[in-house]
Structure 1
Amino acid sequence: MKIISTNIGEPKEVNWKGKKVTTGIFKFPVNKPIFLDIEEVMGDEISDRKHHGGILQAIYGYSLKHYNFFKLNYPDLDWQNGMFGENLTIDDLDETKIHQGDTFKVGTAILEATVQRNPCYKLGIRFNDMKIVKQFWNTTFCGVYFKVLQTGFVKSGDVFEPIKSCTENPTIADLYVAKRVEKKI
């Protein structure tokens, strides 16, 4: 797995059902290393700290390969890395092969896979179409949240070097499917 782009966002205020909502889902590639801190990417907006950021969800990674699946349904969007709100767009991140607890060295940081990303209405805001939320739920293309075990910088081109594999634990896709069943989606 290799980082294709590092992405950060600024706070953006949007109108959602007559209310002003601030979101950080509008992330765009940056051409410089980013610093992965214990609870967040430095300089990146996290507007909803109840559901994003924090120790278990400090960094969000998403696979560039998944983009092709969604591009078919949204051919008119201005597709850029970071579309799914990810901090790291990774060439081939496979949720069916990454287990909770798997650990990687990337750049000068050490990351541990923790949980899946559960989509919310802000993904629909980013796509300007709420259908994306259900479409996202109906795949295993959820992306991976990472815990930062060692803070450090990462940049485009950095490779995820496996340190520890936890095959006895569920995969990130398994966790996602279980959450989908629990929510009855």
Structure 2
Amino acid sequence: MYPGTLVEGVFAGGLRELQPEGQSTGMYKQPVQGDALIESHGIGGDQQADRRVHGGPEKAVHHYAAENYAKLAAAFEHCAAQLVPGSLGENLSSHGLDECNVFIGDVYRVGTSLLQVSQPRSPCWKINHRFAEDTLSMFVVQQHLTGWYYRVLSPGVVRAGDRIELVERYTERFSLDAFWTLQLQHRPQFQDLLQLSETPGLNQDWRQRLSGRAHWLKSKSKNSQ
């Protein structure tokens, strides 16, 4: 099991206008000094503009690997100085945990809270607007640099410097990187999609989407025989 790492940043923020069109966004986070309360809906004091795609119990806390920013900055030199921890709207930042060694359903103790990986983040167009880069969100997905969401199994308190420790792992197959590798295939094997959809801890919305696609591919396979 992964031995653990440290929380390097905790971020939260209210709503602001996103330029140039003035849409509301909760992407602009500020470092939290001292203790931050993690509740069932997320970090205390944090807000999300569009609750259809951000926030809620299945996407309560967003974690992003700090080392991903170097990759983004190398690809988007125009806004490299802005690509720093917290700027993609994450709540937790750390080194050592990333999309390759974090798995669907993983349970972590973060500070005194207990969190479970429910799904990867699906970046939206607001990332492009914030950084004035039309292809940034697409790059994030294509390179599997999305970060991930937690559901809160047990509320608690977290602060920079607290340990992040793996408590339980349900799959050795479906890391976040493997999730995206399979999901982005044009014609994945329906058996693989079904297995992913049945992974303990996966968000119910993704379960339905993946199993529905799997059954569609299975029917297509039968019809072509």
The residue type equivalent to 2:25 in the other structure is: T
Matches within 5 A, 1:14-53: 14-15=18-19, 19-53=21-55
**From 2, 7, 10, the counterpart of 2:6:** 2
Contact 2:106 2:168 in 1 (8 A): yes
1:109 aligns with 2:109: no
1:63 aligns with 2:65: yes
Structure 2 Cα separation of the partners of residues 58 and 50 of structure 1: 12
3-state DSSP class of the match of 1:101? coil
**From 80, 103, 124, the counterpart of 2:84:** 80
The gaps in structure 2 that reach 5 residues or longer are 187-225
Describe the shift of the 1:39–1:178 C-alpha distance in structure 2 as closer, same or farther (beyond 3 A): farther
Larger C-alpha radius of gyration, 1 or 2?
A: 2
Give the TM-score of the pair, scaled to structure 2. 0.74
* Counterpart in the other structure of 2:157: 153
1:137 aligns with 2:141: yes
Identity of aligned residues (%): 27
Describe the shift of the 1:87–1:22 C-alpha distance in structure 2 as closer, same or farther (beyond 3 A): same
* Counterpart in the other structure of 1:128: 132
Structure 2 Cα separation of the partners of residues 39 and 6 of structure 1: 16
Structure 2 Cα separation of the partners of residues 20 and 75 of structure 1: 22
Contact 2:6 2:163 in 1 (8 A): yes
Higher helix share: 2
- Provide the aligned length of Structure 1 versus Structure 2: 180
The residue type equivalent to 1:74 in the other structure is: E
Contact 1:29 1:81 in 2 (8 A): no
Contact 2:69 2:84 in 1 (8 A): no
3-state DSSP class of the match of 1:114? strand
Distance apart, 1:168 and its partner CA = 4.8
Contact 1:116 1:173 in 2 (8 A): no
Contact 2:19 2:129 in 1 (8 A): no
Distance apart, 1:43 and its partner CA = 0.5
1:54 aligns with 2:56: yes
3-state DSSP class of the match of 2:90? coil
Higher relative contact order (CA 8 A, sep 6+): 1
Structure 2 Cα separation of the partners of residues 148 and 41 of structure 1: 10
1:89 aligns with 2:76: no
The gaps in structure 1 that reach 5 residues or longer are none
Structure 2 Cα separation of the partners of residues 137 and 60 of structure 1: 16
3-state DSSP class of the match of 1:122? helix
**From 100, 103, 112, the counterpart of 1:99:** 103
Describe the shift of the 1:181–1:24 C-alpha distance in structure 2 as closer, same or farther (beyond 3 A): farther
Instruction: Give every structure 1 segment of 4 or more consecutive aligned residues whose post-TM-superposition deviation is greater than 4 Å.
Output: none
Structure 2 Cα separation of the partners of residues 125 and 98 of structure 1: 28
Describe the shift of the 1:105–1:121 C-alpha distance in structure 2 as closer, same or farther (beyond 3 A): same
Higher strand share: 1
CA RMSD in angstroms, aligned pairs only: 1.8
3-state DSSP class of the match of 2:163? coil
Does 111-120 or 76-85 show the bigger shift? 76-85
Distance apart, 1:173 and its partner CA = 1.9
